[in-house]
Amino acid sequence: MLLAGLLSCALLLRLWPRTAGMPWWLWLPAAALLLLAVLGLSQILLMLWARAISRRCADPTPAVTWPGFHDAALREARACLSVFTFEQAFRWRDYPDSLPGGAHDSTQPPLVLIHGYVCNRGIWRRWMRELTHRRWPYASVNLEPVFGPIDRYIPLVDDAVARAASLGSAKPWLVCHSMGGLVARVWAAATPDAEQRIAGIVTLGTPHRGTWLSRLAHTPNGQQMRQHSPWLQALQQRETEQSERLSQIPRLSVHAQTDQIVFPPATATFPSGSNWLVAGVGHVAMARDLKLLARILTWIGTRGGAKTAECR
């Protein structure tokens, strides 16, 4: 795909004198290929940069091969193009949250979908479509203000947990992408009965120990995600003081070798609970991977008695 896009660009430049009068819509296929090629190349460069920094930091995560970089970069390019130009802007309302008495299976444990930095619930659109197809109940949040301190999102999560709990007999699971995992952690630390209200927490590409990239951020929540930030240290201290209570909450942390946003990769692991390393996927694409969703639902089933979810 990268090669096709670059070749299209070269061909257009070569034929420019003959095609200058062509209708604009005839340029669209080549322009789309070129855009995807540029995005793919940028993701490869970001992943290579992240890999170099991770090596310098002596990160223990196994390195990915060049074909793995190529595949992950193309998937990430498609994911970013879809999420940031289409799904979050125009299609974030396509799949409403489940309602009490709705068509979902009330015996399945509901999910609370918590997105990450500079996103909204639209990033979960593919997963929400699949969950709707499976009749699996879910609630979601839009974390606002977008650039506010992470602690300000606690009431939004609390409301979503209450809504999810009304969807059936099982306790809800918090399923979080990127910064959303930190939102879940601070909610659990601030909620005295969190271990009684939820069944567990699943995080995807969450900077549990900060991310190197956040040193470039200047927003309150961006700065809070810096490695060794005062906010992260304070959260870890609160969790240590409440370890007996919080250790009752099962946790699963998913991290990727080719995460170009949260790196070094090991920073997305949580000291306690299960940690999965996934290959061939970038930061945004993680929240759209249907095979990963099926695997998570199966894992939740082994923890909470849910029906087994088949990978389709």
> Over 80: is that where the pLDDT of 209 sits?
yes
Architecture in CATH of 111-304: 3-Layer(aba) Sandwich (3.40)
User: What value does the mean pLDDT take over residues 86-98?
Assistant: 96
More reliable by pLDDT, 7 or 298: 298
CA–chain centroid gap for 78, Å, is 15
Domain spans of the chain, in order of start: 111-304
- pLDDT confidence of residue 51: 80
Please, which pLDDT band fits residue 309 given cuts at 50, 70 and 90? Answer: very low
pTM: predicted TM-score of the whole model, two decimal places: 0.87
Amino acid at 65: T
> In the prediction, which pLDDT does 2 show?
44
For residue range 227-247, what is the model confidence (pLDDT) as tens digits? 999 999 999 999 999 999 999
Q: What average pLDDT does range 136-145 have in this prediction? A: 98
Sequence-ordered list of residues with C-beta below 8 angstroms from that of 69, at least 6 positions apart, any chain: 44, 47, 48, 258
**Please, which contacts does 220-229 make with residues 24 or more away whose CB atoms are closer than 8 Å?**
220/147, 220/148, 220/149, 220/150, 221/117, 221/147, 221/148, 221/149, 221/150, 221/179, 222/117, 222/147, 224/149, 224/150, 224/182, 225/117, 225/179, 225/182, 227/267
Asked if 287 contacts 123 with a C-beta cutoff of 8 angstroms, the reply is: yes
pLDDT range class, residue 175, cuts 50, 70, 90: very high
Residue with tokens 């390019």: 77
The more confidently predicted of residues 29 and 250 is 250
The Cα 115–Cα 179 span in angstroms is 7
pLDDT at position 30: 64
**Which residues share a beta bridge with 107?**
none
- DSSP class of residue 226 equals B
Q: How far apart are CA 262 and CA 205, in angstroms?
A: 6
What integer pLDDT is reported at residue 57 of this predicted model? Answer: 79
Q: How far apart are CA 47 and CA 70, in angstroms?
A: 10
First-to-final CA distance of the chain: 25
Q: What one-letter code names the amino acid at 178?
A: S
